[in-house]
């Protein structure tokens, strides 16, 4: 029963990427490796990037789950304080977090190739 609950929780955490907000950002990103996309729903570049972001996740999902790599995303319009704290000055921006520590922006992280290479190297 207990094990089932744990496994269910893990499966939920591991499936797809996670929406992060001001309430749960810090707790959620404390464990494991996170690639966090900061975006604005009204920014055309963010909208253009969305399918790329999803495709990288889907193409690498098994490997990411195996390596404790999570994809999270923050809507900067709704969660300005979270984005200010990460010093986000343009959208979309992908930042790498290692056990809750901001390791900076993923270089070229808006392109499929650069993001996929980076995610595979974690
Ligand atoms: C954080 O909160 C949002 C609702 O604002 C929710 O959709 C999301 O699943 C939560 N993320 C985690 C990791 O709990």
Q: Atom 7 of ligand 1 has which residue's CA nearest to it?
A: 19
Which residues are within 8 A (CB) of 1 and not within 5 positions of it... i.e. 6 or more apart?
none
State in Å: Cα 93 to ligand 1 middle.
19
Which domains, ranges and CATH numbers included, belong to the chain? 2-121 (3.40.30.10)
Q: Atom 1 of ligand 1 has which residue's CA nearest to it?
A: 20
Confidence of residue 14 (pLDDT cuts 50, 70, 90): very low
State in Å: Cα 23 to ligand 1 middle.
8
Q: Give the pLDDT score at 12.
A: 46
- How much is the pTM? 0.87
Query: Could you tell me the sign of the dihedral formed by the alpha carbons of 98, 99, 102, 106, in that order?
Result: positive
State in Å: Cα 1 to ligand 1 middle.
25
pLDDT digits (tens, 9 = 90+) for 41-91: 999 999 999 999 999 999 999 999 999 999 999 999 999 999 999 999 999
Burial class, 48, CB count within 10 angstroms (exposed 0-12 / middle 13-18 / buried 19+): exposed
Q: Atom 9 of ligand 1 has which residue's CA nearest to it?
A: 19
Confidence of residue 5 (pLDDT cuts 50, 70, 90): low
pLDDT at 93 over 90: yes
């Amino acid at each position: 029963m207990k094990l089932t609950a744990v496994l269910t929780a893990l499966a939920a955490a591991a499936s797809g990427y996670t929406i992060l907000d001001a309430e749960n950002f810090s707790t959620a990103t404390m464990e494991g490796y996170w690639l966090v996309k900061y975006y604005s729903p009204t920014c055309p570049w963010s909208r253009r990037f969305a399918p790329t972001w999803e495709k990288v996740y889907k193409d690498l999902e098994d490997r990411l789950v195996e390596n404790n790599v999570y994809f999270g995303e923050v809507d900067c319009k709704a969660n300005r304080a979270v984005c200010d704290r990460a010093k986000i000055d343009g959208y979309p921006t992908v930042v790498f977090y290692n056990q809750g520590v901001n390791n900076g922006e993923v270089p070229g992280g808006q392109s499929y190739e650069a993001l996929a290479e980076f995610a595979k190297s974690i």
